[in-house]
Amino acid sequence: MTAPPPTPSPAAPQPPLIAVRQLTMGYALGSRRVEVLRGVDLQIAAGTRVAIAGPSGSGKTSLLLLLAGLERPSAGQVVVDGVDLGALDADALADLRRDRIGIVFQSFHLLPSLSALDNAALPLQMAGRRDARDVAGAMLARVGLGGRLQHRPSELSGGEQQRVAIARALVHRPRLLLADEPTGNLDDQTAESVRDLLFELNRDFGTTLVLVTHDLSFAARCDRVLRLHDGQLHETDPASLRAPADAVPA
């Protein structure tokens, strides 16, 4: 009698792309100290879309800056893609961002003297890639700006500038994309097109997306929604933020 084939072993669980443990951050405000994060714990799986929501001043941007290694916590640990950010000096953190993290800001932060092409190529040029401008041109075409490569930021609309910023953030195919109110300076129609683009690129590239937003309809399109209140994160079901008739794109 033929023996049955062996039962395959279950796949080992993958470690989270982001692991935050007991994260605390505060700052002095006059004679008192304000704690914006109080012992926050968080794990985010690779490839997911996570929104961090909350009122102005709640610490959303502070948390994003900590995940990027642009700020240091008062206490606690941030591990991104297996790397403890607290163990890195400033140069090593810059290398980590260059290789594995993309960041999109509300105010675009493009260099005004450079063309869209050269702005988008910056991360690759910093890494010494000889094909930086070719790859950046292809990414700009991917975000709908193939005909605007030589335009400077002052010659682009707000939505076009944000698309350049998104291209720059993704040109090196990072594992993690952090977006801080990426549609906050845009009109409603342009904002919606940028939201669609972010989710489309997340799906196509498999990049983990963590975004800060006060727009709950934007947050509702994510896999997870985390509300920041009184220094603590509280998970909310995205479905609870959607209008009943909403069709939520994949």
pLDDT at 11: 58
Every domain of the chain and the residues it spans: 47-73+88-239
pLDDT at 45: 96
CB count, 10 Å around CB of 198? 25
pLDDT at 106: 87
Per-residue pLDDT of the chain (250 residues; tens, 9 = 90+): 566 666 665 556 778 999 999 999 988 778 888 888 999 999 999 999 999 998 888 889 999 999 999 999 999 999 999 999 999 999 999 999 999 999 999 889 999 999 999 999 999 998 899 999 999 999 999 999 999 999 999 999 999 999 999 999 999 999 999 999 999 888 899 999 999 999 999 999 999 999 999 888 899 999 999 999 889 999 998 888 876 655 455 4
Buried b (16+ CB within 10 A) or exposed e, 221-242: bbebbbbbeebebeebebeebb
pLDDT at 10: 59
CB 170 within 8 A of CB 208: no
pLDDT at 28: 76
Q: What is the residue whose two structure tokens read 């995940």?
A: 67
pLDDT at 6: 67
CB 168 within 8 A of CB 135: no
The CATH number of 47-73+88-239 is 3.40.50.300
pLDDT at 4: 67
Q: How far apart are CA 80 and CA 83, in angstroms?
A: 5
Phi/psi-derived region of residue 203, left when phi > 0, alpha when psi is between -120 and 50, beta in every other case: alpha
pLDDT at 1: 55
